[in-house]
């Protein structure tokens, strides 16, 4: 008779190898991210195209460059209204339909920009584009935050933000290949076909947010109360410090993002060199956005955001003063994109994790887009200061970048760290 063998001991849970993070994301969650990412790519292409052709627009319509830079402010200045209204709509009817509306809206605004017949008409079309593009990121970030596993949501939102970097690359490629043949107007037609394909994908393959559907069953806010109103009535202090944070962060990144191509053109760089340097920066942005979620999960939201913004502003300083040494400038362009612009990959996590479900889309839509008003006005303030104080453009870009980064680090001390908090804690008002 054979001896009875002892049953193998059960492995403790801690001994079972953990799956890689990307294996824990199911197909529906990936489709949500792809949809949100695609909208953010197209948003960036349609918006950033204008940063390459500010001088051409100024020449055609016979206005000053500083006045032309106000087109950025025109787009950003109305985004908070669109973000608030679209966010309120999303908190009532769901996330998918408003996402499709915003995609079609800002694509149409870009086409109208290319068809404009005067500077006034151009400004009006940029206002319309800004209103429609407002919820592009906020709705996407809300969808990812509500669909992805809690321990990976910062990673998901960071990946979502890589869309802005890819859009920047797309705008640079368009400048190199479309602009020489079709002029500045042709830059605003490149996103039409991709946008239409993306609409079909969202409509037929992307599920509605499960958290939204479950929340509708137990919604704490009566439907007669507008979520946008509830946001300000119930969370006024949170709205105040997050608004200030977003204003400073956006202002700090746009002297670099909005004026770097113009700065290169002022130095008589050829289009190919401008494209290479801006694409190098955009590649850094993509990797920075992707890495930002992992950094935020490792060291916390506040430290990751403040650290990346601070290092990035120093890289901008190094970039503008080494721009004639191509390889050195390319290295700093990459690093400035990675740290300064890439740090915005954490913005969505901070906002979604500081707002409960019943006002999340409204809050993120308002806060993100009121913040970008700071980004929209930054190029005008820099150019006006340069003109009034007889400063170099390089000095203007560096001073405003450094000051804004320092202010952001100070404001971050007021923001609660939400690393490790569950969405149920946040929805209960614990953030």
- How far is Cα 354 from Cα 88, in angstroms, rounded to an integer? 17
Q: What is the pLDDT of residues 326-354, one digit of tens each?
A: 999 999 999 999 999 999 888 878 888 88
Instruction: Provide the whole-model pTM.
Output: 0.70
Segment 44-67 mean pLDDT: 87
Confidence check: pLDDT of 1 > 60: no
Nearest in space to 374 (alpha carbons), one of 414, 411, 320, 335: 411
Mean pLDDT of 173-198: 90
Tell me the pLDDT band of 88, cut-offs 50, 70 and 90: confident
Domain at 28-210+223-423: CATH architecture: Up-down Bundle (1.20)
pLDDT tier at 139 (50, 70, 90 boundaries)?
A: confident
Q: Write down the H helix ranges in 178-235.
A: 179-186, 192-205, 210-217, 227-234
Average pLDDT, the chain: 83
Question: Measured between alpha carbons, how far is 426 from 420 in angstroms, rounded to an integer?
Answer: 11
Residues 220, 226, 231: CA angle, nearest 5 degrees: 70
Q: Is 398 exposed, middle or buried (0-12, 13-18, 19+ CB in 10 A)?
A: buried
CB-CB contact of 346 with 301 (8 Å) = yes
Please give the average per-residue pLDDT across 90-108, as a whole number.
85
Other beta carbons less than 10 A from residue 5's beta carbon: 6
Distance CA 388, CA 254 (A): 20
- Is it the case that residue 246 has pLDDT exceeding 80? yes
Q: Greater confidence, 255 or 335?
A: 335
Q: What region does 17 belong to: left with phi over 0, alpha with psi -120 to 50, or beta?
A: beta
CA–CA dist 408, 313 (Å, integer): 11
Q: Can you tell me the mean pLDDT for 136-145?
A: 81
Most distant CA atoms of the chain, gap in Å: 102
* Confidence at residue 94, expressed as pLDDT on a 0 to 100 scale: 77
pLDDT per position as a tens digit, 359-418: 777 777 778 777 778 887 888 899 889 888 888 999 999 999 999 999 999 999 888 887
**Neighbour tally for 167: CB within 10 Å:** 24
Task: Provide the pLDDT for residue 222.
Answer: 52
Residue ranges of domains in the chain:
28-210+223-423
Q: What is the pLDDT of residue 422?
A: 67
């Amino acid at each position: 008779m054979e001896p009875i063998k002892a049953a193998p001991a059960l492995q403790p849970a801690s001994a079972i190898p953990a799956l890689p993070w990307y294996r824990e994301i199911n197909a529906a969650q990936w489709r949500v991210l792809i949809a949100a990412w695609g909208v953010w790519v197209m948003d960036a292409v349609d918006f950033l195209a204008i940063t390459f052709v500010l001088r051409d627009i100024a020449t055609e319509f016979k206005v000053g460059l500083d006045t032309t830079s106000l087109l950025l402010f025109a787009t950003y200045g109305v985004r908070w209204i669109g973000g608030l209204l679209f966010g309120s709509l999303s908190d009532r009817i769901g996330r998918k339909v408003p996402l499709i509306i915003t995609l079609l809206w800002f694509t149409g605004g870009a086409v109208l920009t290319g068809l404009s017949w005067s500077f006034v008409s151009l400004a009006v079309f940029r206002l319309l584009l800004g209103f429609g593009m407002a919820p592009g990121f906020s709705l996407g970030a809300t969808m990812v935050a509500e669909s992805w596993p809690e321990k990976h949501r910062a990673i998901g939102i960071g990946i979502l933000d890589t869309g802005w970097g890819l859009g920047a690359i797309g705008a640079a490629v368009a400048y190199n290949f479309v602009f020489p043949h079709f002029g500045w107007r042709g830059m605003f037609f490149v996103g039409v076909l991709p946008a239409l394909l993306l609409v079909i994908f969202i409509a037929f393959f992307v599920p509605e947010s499960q958290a939204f559907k479950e929340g509708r069953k137990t919604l704490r806010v009566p439907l007669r109360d507008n979520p946008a109103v509830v946001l300000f009535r119930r969370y006024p202090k949170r709205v105040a410090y997050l608004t200030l944070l977003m204003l400073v962060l956006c202002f700090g990144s746009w002297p670099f993002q909005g004026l770097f191509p113009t700065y290169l053109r002022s130095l008589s760089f050829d289009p190919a060199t401008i494209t290479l340097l801006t694409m190098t920066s955009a590649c850094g942005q993509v990797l920075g956005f992707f890495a930002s979620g992992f950094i935020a999960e490792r060291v916390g939201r506040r430290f990751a955001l403040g650290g990346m913004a601070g290092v990035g502003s120093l890289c901008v300083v190094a970039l503008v003063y080494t721009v004639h040494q191509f390889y050195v400038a390319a290295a700093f362009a990459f690093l400035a994109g990675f740290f300064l612009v890439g740090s915005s990959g954490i913005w969505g996590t901070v906002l979604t994790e500081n707002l409960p479900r019943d006002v999340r889309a409204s809050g993120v839509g308002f806060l993100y887009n009121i913040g970008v008003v700071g980004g929209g006005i930054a190029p005008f303030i820099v150019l006006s200061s340069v003109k009034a104080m007889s400063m170099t453009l390089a000095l203007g870009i560096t001073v405003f970048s450094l000051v804004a980064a320092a202010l952001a680090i100070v404001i971050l001390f007021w923001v609660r760290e939400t690393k490790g908090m569950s969405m149920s804690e946040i929805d209960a008002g614990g953030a």
